[in-house]
């Protein structure tokens, strides 16, 4: 938490000394890079931008629009990567060969099938999933979901997420440390819930193996 707040403070200190147009451009670029290079801490820059609205007089719709524009561009890049991965015509890269391996191909086909059936829901919820947001748009491209539809639902999720950040900033008086704590706690709770779900699934599978076939199956 301390390291996260320190990095957030550094970003805030840098942005607060920049011209508004340059700061908004950096917000857009950081939002885009977060989707292209997932380890990049895009939310850190977004939080700093949210605090700059009241403290440096940045326009709220400028901050919101910059983040949304960067998100859309990054999502489009991911979608195009997914389209390229599934398009094998004239391509013989190591990645395409790996995707065609007998141990991998069935999983890829299952993923594509799931996105063909429920892709819009997954895309809309992607923004609320830490670390793996880019993969949702890659999968959408692999499933050949229309780009406009992908950006529409992805934009809806991003708008809700960014609005939640701005609302959280308003609630805590745009206190940088409080905002960092809220985001850190959200990430912790999310991964705890995911861990519990995975543990429950493993336990259920293990119980089925230990129980063995029922008497009706014998």
Enumerate residues 6+ apart whose C-beta is below 8 A from 95.
85
Q: What CA–CA distance (Å, rounded) separates 136 from 49?
A: 25
**Is the model's pLDDT at 207 over the cut of 60?**
yes
Residue 2 pLDDT level (bands cut at 50, 70, 90)? very low
Residue 78 pLDDT level (bands cut at 50, 70, 90)? very high
User: Contact 88/102 with Cβ under 8 angstroms?
Assistant: no
User: Contact 15/24 with Cβ under 8 angstroms?
Assistant: no
How does the average pLDDT of the chain come out, rounded?
Answer: 79
Phi, psi of 144 (to 5 degrees): 60, 30
Residue 125 pLDDT level (bands cut at 50, 70, 90)? confident
Q: What CA–CA distance (Å, rounded) separates 117 from 78?
A: 20
User: Contact 78/151 with Cβ under 8 angstroms?
Assistant: no
Cβ density class 37-52: b for 16+ within 10 Å, e for less = ebebebbbbbbbbbbb
**Reduced to 3 states, what is the DSSP secondary structure of residue 19?**
coil
Q: What CA–CA distance (Å, rounded) separates 83 from 87?
A: 6
Which of these ranges, 13-17, 28-32, 65-69, 125-129, has the smallest mean pLDDT?
13-17
For 165-183, the pLDDT digits (tens) are 777 777 776 777 777 777 7
Residue 73 pLDDT level (bands cut at 50, 70, 90)? very high
Instruction: Tell me the range of 49-58, 84-93, 152-161 where mean pLDDT is highest.
Output: 152-161
pLDDT at 214: 52
Q: What is the pTM of this model?
A: 0.75
CA angle centred on 190, ends 187 and 191, rounded to 5°: 90
Q: How many contiguous H segments (helices) and E segments (strands) does the chain have?
A: 9, 0
pLDDT at 77: 93
Report residue 136 as tokens: 């949702």
Give the pLDDT mean for 55-80: 88
pLDDT at 218: 47
For 181-190, the pLDDT digits (tens) are 777 777 788 7
Q: What CA–CA distance (Å, rounded) separates 48 from 124?
A: 24
């Amino acid at each position: 938490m301390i390291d996260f707040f320190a990095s957030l403070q550094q970003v805030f200190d840098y942005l607060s000394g920049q011209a508004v147009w340059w700061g908004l451009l950096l917000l857009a670029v950081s939002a885009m890079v977060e989707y292209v290079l997932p380890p990049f801490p895009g939310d850190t820059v977004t939080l700093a931008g949210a605090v700059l609205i009241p403290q440096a007089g940045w326009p709220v719709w400028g901050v919101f629009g910059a983040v949304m524009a960067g998100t859309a561009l990054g999502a489009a890049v991911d979608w195009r990567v997914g389209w390229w991965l599934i398009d094998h015509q004239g391509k013989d890269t190591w990645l395409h060969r790996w995707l065609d391996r007998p141990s991998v191909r069935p999983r890829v086909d299952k993923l594509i099938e799931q996105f063909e059936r429920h892709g819009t829901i997954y895309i809309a919820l992607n923004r609320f999933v830490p670390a793996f947001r880019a993969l949702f748009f890659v999968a959408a491209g692999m499933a050949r979901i229309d780009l406009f539809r992908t950006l529409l639902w992805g934009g809806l999720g991003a708008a809700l997420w960014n609005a939640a950040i701005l609302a959280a900033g308003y609630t805590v008086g745009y206190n940088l440390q409080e905002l960092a704590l809220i985001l850190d706690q959200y990430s912790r709770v999310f991964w705890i819930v995911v861990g519990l779900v995975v543990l429950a699934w493993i336990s259920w599978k293990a119980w089925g193996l230990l129980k063995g076939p029922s008497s009706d199956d014998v």
